[in-house]
Amino acid sequence: MYHSSMRTKSLHLPESGPLLAGGYLFLWMILWPTLQPYWTLTYGLRFGALLLTPTQYWGWLIGAELAASSGIDLIQGTPLSWSDFLLKLPEPLAMAACLWLLKRMHLHASLHSPQEVTRMLLSVLMVVTATTAVDAALLSLLRLPGSPDLMMRVVGQELLSHYLAILLIVPLMIMALRSRIEPPAMARLMMDGLLVMLPAMLILLLLSNQAAPQPQFARVLSLAPVLFFAFRHGWRGASLAMLITSLGITLVDQHLGRTPSTAAAYLFLAVAGTGALMLGSATDALRRSSERVAEQNVYLGAVNLRLDHLAHQLRDAARGNLQAEEDQRRHLAAELHDELGQNITAIQTHVKLAQVRLRQAGMEDISTSINTILGHMRRALHRLLDDLRPAVLDEFGLLRALDEGPIRDLLNSAGMRYLTELHGNPRLLDDDTRTAIYRLAQESATNAVKHAHASEFRLRLRIGVRQGIALALLDLRDDGTGLPSRLPRGGRGLQGMRDRVTSLGGQFRLRPDHSGVHLRILLRSSTKIDAGGPHD
């Protein structure tokens, strides 16, 4: 299976022309005995060597090839001549010229994506066609005996053998020099080779001993492991499996003394190898994309966790600020009640004691005015204390404060009907949540009186427990004129309510009804409720 361990640093070739020429000569001599009519691996070796080495070393490589060819001629007893030497030179030069042009057009020795494989295969077709055309031109110039049909068969055989040679050799060279496989991945590849390729070769050998059409069926069946390796190991596995399959077919034909497979069989092999290489590259690209998506998901998951942590911190900070504000309000309300309220009471007492003397002095109207002013001051003080910290909330509890407290007095004095539906146990909620519910109802009722021109105000509250968490659903609505299309500047009513809900980790929703303002607010208490605790 493709794994990130397959992506390693490229193996650097020696920066020495003689060393490269010596290694190339050695590989050429090893591959030369495998020469078959449709099996010209030395051609693929030349293509891969020129593709993977810098252009300044190409002269060394071509010279090593000519030396190897001359050595082979000597081994075979063929007399050497300058004409034979010159006839061997055009094909390597034609390939070098084509590859030089393709490298100028940014051809890279890479098969990591279907686009790169397609570009490589098109380049292979261009080079094979050019070198075959050069060989055909040489044959025509030499006027060798033979019919045009024979010439076409020779050209077709050369095209197929050269393309197949590149298909079998070049991916292995790229894998060895540019994209090597690490030992763990190689171990998995070898294990699959033993479990899949070895049985496939045995089946090929057994079926090839049978009468026709079993051998042809065996050749087609032997390509199934190539597709398996393409899916499991990408283009690397496909190229290795393709080479082993081709080698197995050739060895079976040789050891059984059969005529080498026909051009149609090798053409099928070339087409199947091309498809397997494309499939393997697409599989690699898909797995790399899946790995990147998985890495991004892990990163996004970590970011989301961090954002959740920050959101919790912000909510805790906002809740702390809200609690500190309520504490300050409570303290200020207590101070005003104790100091200012007592002073007003003391003034009223002194005025009452001085009423007889003021009446005797004919200043009874002054005492009446002072008492009136003190009454206004006391009522204003009560309203201020109620805004700072509603005493009714502490004295009567949340439900009675909502149903019978100052909110009803405010709405009744404005000539509005006040309808309430209250369900649940407020003791399930923490103090901050209870205070927030009262504040939200108070602010909404005040907005309805000041801006809505409504005749009715409805309040619904339901308190319950879900999964050990106390929840409060608050529904507030009026039948007034609704919100204006553009909210007035400096208006903090709705925004203040939204901020208060957000600081408690709740949800604030302004529903666009046909008339009036409709708010739905969900608050979660910070205290956990045991399974055996009170429920609504």
- Partners of residue 471 on adjacent β-strands: 464, 524
Instruction: Compute the average pLDDT of residues 93-113.
Output: 91
Q: What pLDDT does 476 receive?
A: 93
Helix (H) or strand (E) holding 42: helix 41-52
Distance CA 55, CA 49 (A): 10
pLDDT at 11 over 60: no
Which residues have a Cβ under 8 Å from the Cβ of 398 and sit 6 or more positions away?
A: 426, 429, 434, 437, 438
Confidence of residue 95 (pLDDT cuts 50, 70, 90): very high
- Better-predicted residue by pLDDT, 20 or 88: 20
How confident is the model at residue 389, as a pLDDT? Answer: 66
What per-residue confidence (pLDDT) applies to 238? 87
| Domain coordinates in residue numbering, the chain | 10-180, 396-528
The model's confidence at residue 153, banded by pLDDT at 50, 70 and 90, is confident
To the nearest whole percent, how much of the chain has pLDDT over 70? 81
State which amino acid sits at residue 190: M
- Cβ(444)–Cβ(499) below 8 Å: no
Q: Are 247 and 240 in contact (CB under 8 A)?
A: no
DSSP state of 39: B
Structure tokens given for 481: 């004129």
CA–CA separation, 238 and 228 (whole Å): 8
Helices (H) and strands (E) in the chain, counts: 20, 5
Tokens 């998985």 belong to which residue? Answer: 294
Q: Which residue has the higher pLDDT, 239 or 97?
A: 97
In degrees, rounded to 5, the angle at the alpha carbon of residue 449 between the alpha carbons of residues 494 and 518 is 45
pLDDT given at position 5: 44
Quick: pLDDT tens for 193-208: 777 777 777 776 666 6
CA distance 220 to 239: 17
User: To the nearest whole percent, how much of the chain has pLDDT over 90?
Assistant: 22
CA 269: distance to chain centroid? 38
104 pLDDT above the threshold of 60: yes
Cα distance between residue 465 and residue 426, in whole Å: 11
116 within 8 A of 51, measured Cβ to Cβ: no
H helices of 197-341, in order, are 198-208, 214-221, 224-255, 263-335
91 pLDDT exceeds 80? yes
Res 152: pLDDT: 79
For 413-469, the pLDDT digits (tens) are: 999 999 999 999 998 988 888 888 998 998 899 888 888 888 999 999 999 998 888
Q: If pLDDT is split at 50, 70 and 90, which confidence band does 118 have?
A: very high
In terms of pLDDT, which residue wins out, 355 or 284? Answer: 284
What is the average per-residue pLDDT within 116-131?
93
Angstrom distance (rounded) from CA 220 to CA 272: 10
Q: Which residues of 181-211 are buried (b: 16+ CB within 10 A; e: fewer)?
A: beeebeebbeebbeebbeebbeebeebbeee
SS3 of residue 366 by DSSP = helix
Instruction: Pick 10-180's CATH classification: 3.30.2010, 3.40.50, 1.10.1760, 1.20.1070.
Output: 1.10.1760
Considering only residues 291 and 335, tell me which one the structure prediction assigns the higher pLDDT: 291
Is 521 in contact with 477 (CB distance < 8 Å)?
no
Per-residue model confidence as pLDDT tens digits over 242-295: 888 877 777 766 665 555 556 777 787 888 889 889 998 998 888 888 889 999
Cα atoms in the 13 Å half-sphere on the side-chain side of 78: 11
Report the CATH fold assignment for 396-528.
Answer: Heat Shock Protein 90 (3.30.565)
Quick check: pTM over 0.75? no
State how beta strands 469-478 and 518-528 pair: antiparallel
- Whole-angstrom Cα Rg for the chain: 46
| Residue 394, pLDDT above cutoff 50 | yes
Task: Grade residue 130 by pLDDT with cuts at 50, 70 and 90.
Answer: very high
* 211 φ, ψ (degrees, to nearest 5): -75, 165
